Structure 1
Amino acid sequence: MAKQTGKKKIIIITGASSGFGMEFALQLDKLFHSAKKRSCTKNGHGDTEMWLIARRKGRLEELSKALSTPTKIVAMDVTREEDILAFREMLEKENASIKILINSAGFGLMGRFDAISVEEQLEMLEVNCKALTRLTYECIPFLCKNGRILQLASSAAFVPQKNFAIYAATKSYVLSFSRALREELKEKSIWVTVVCPGPANTEFFDRAEKYDSTLAIKKLTMVSPERVVREALLDSHHKKALSICSFPMKAFCILSKIVPHGWILWTVGLIGKKAAIHD
Structure 2
Amino acid sequence: MLKKIYSVLFALTLIAITLTTSVYAWFATSKTALVDGIELGVGEDDDLWLSLDGINYHKSITNEMLVEYVGTQRKLASITSQNGKDFFLGPVLLETRAIPKVDYLSFDVYFKVVTNNPNVDAHHKYVYLADRTKPTYELASNAPGTFVTSRGKNWINPLGFDDGDIYVTPGENRLYYAHNAVRIASYNEAENLSFIYDVSENEARGFGKPFGAIDFYYRMLGVRMEPPEAPQNMIYKLTEFSKLQNDIAIDKTSLVSEVSLVNEVEGIYEYRGRTKISIWLEGWDADCYDAILDDPMWIQLRFKAARFDDSL
TM-score range, shorter chain: under 0.3
Higher fraction of helix: 1
Normalized per residue, the structure richer in strand is 2
